[in-house]
Amino acid sequence: MPSFIFSEAQPEAEKNTQRVAAALAQKGYTGWDPAIDAQYSRQRTHAIRGSGPNSPLAGLRIVSNELGTVMGLLPFEMGMPRIRTPEVDGRKAEVSGVWTDDMSELLKLIRDVIAWLHETGVKVTYSVYNAEDRAMSDLLGLTLGLKSLPGKTVTYNSFLRQGRAIPWQIAIANEKTMTGTLQKLEERYGPSEPLVDLDLR
């Protein structure tokens, strides 16, 4: 079963974004704003895994600061309070919008995406999660090895759960951490596979 990667220009991008929004709504979040989300559409890369691009079992989205993002910032840097990431010798990326119907296929997708991040020169990877969401906390921390940055949270005032703004915890993985995670996933699921680039079809 292949993993696919593609830009916002592909028709699958809107479908993947719809799945992200649906997964958040299913968890009780309200206030998803397509206009705010679209600020990063030109710089966003999508990755999915399934028997074909129209039948995905898992997906996520990636924004790199090298791709001309809004004011050169990653998405979470637009939250409140304003938190800026330190400069690194290479690219930084934020991985978000994770959804799945099959956890093992999601982990295989993440394995392939980590290999792709290495190949494209990403040195530091960030993500944000609701610390009250135990499943996502365990996925990012225990399974993937991302480290939460103590005291570093952001909120989005119009994006709520149960009527209140959620503090989203910022997590980080450097190149060494991601290499270790890749090795563990390859031991469990086999070698990473090249992402099928739908922009080249």
Per-residue pLDDT of 94-110, as tens digits, reads 999 999 999 999 999 99
Number of domains the chain is built from: 1
Provide the whole-model pTM: 0.90
pLDDT > 70? residue 81: no
Contacts of 107 by beta carbon, 8 Å cutoff, 6+ apart: 143, 185, 188, 189
Whether omega for the bond prior to residue 81 falls within 30 degrees of 0, making it cis, is yes
pLDDT > 60? residue 68: no
CATH number at residue 148: 3.40.630.30
pLDDT value of position 37? 86
* Nearest residue to 95 via CA among 64, 50, 47, 62: 62
DSSP state of 85: P
- Residue range(s) defining the domain that contains residue 111: 3-200
Return the sign of the alpha-carbon dihedral for residues 91, 94, 99, 103.
Answer: positive
pLDDT tens, 152-168? 888 888 889 988 888 89
Whole-angstrom distance, CA of residue 138 vs CA of residue 67: 30
